[in-house]
Amino acid sequence: MKPIHRNSHTIKPMLLVAVLMAICSFTVAANAQPQFVGKFTLPYEVQWAHAVLPAGEYTITVDPMTGPAMVHIRSTDGNRQVYEGLPIVADSKKGGASLLVTIVGRKHTVRTINLPLLGVSFIFQPLTRAAREEYAKAAQLESLPVLIAKK
């Protein structure tokens, strides 16, 4: 059996096609508009994944969901990015766009963001069904509205 040799005449066109495809992919990704932009106000300091956010106004941006959903949380002045990550994605719950916060003493923890407009909820710190019921019975769950930002 003879070894296959590729000459430079076949390698160059293949390389050119690969480079053009990569450029197109990066251009589309760079020009992609966010799928969701919203605003919310935290009336108190919260724990959000590994970050602690002070009370204040924030924006949430969800990048297009062609791959894993990337969620960005920024202060509304844009000076601070406070969270960027790939949360767990679940089906949305009924109701409006909101943050679900658990309250234990003075500690407030963001657990999920429900975005029915996108048909998803993003889970940052999961709760078991039993824990969720306990928080609800003890009035330690709060829902904070997320408003859709005007473009």
Entry pTM = 0.70
The predicted pLDDT at position 20 comes to 42
Instruction: Quote the distance between the C-alpha of residue 45 and its chain's center.
Output: 20
Which residues lie closer than 8 Å to 142 by C-beta, 6 or more apart?
Answer: 100, 101, 102, 103, 108
Q: Is 117 helix (H, G, I), strand (E, B) or coil?
A: coil
pLDDT at 6: 53
Q: What is the pLDDT along the chain (151 residues), one digit of tens a residue?
A: 555 555 555 555 554 444 444 444 443 444 455 588 899 999 999 998 888 899 999 999 888 666 667 888 888 877 777 777 788 888 888 889 999 999 999 999 999 999 998 888 999 989 888 998 898 888 899 999 999 875 5
Which pLDDT value is given to residue 76?
A: 85
* pLDDT score recorded for residue 19: 42
- The DSSP bridge partners found for residue 102 are 109, 141
What is the DSSP secondary-structure string of 19-73?
Answer: HHHHHHHHHHHHHPPPSEEEEEEESS-EEETTEEE-SEEEEEEE--TTSSPPEEE
The residues spanned by each domain of the chain are 36-148
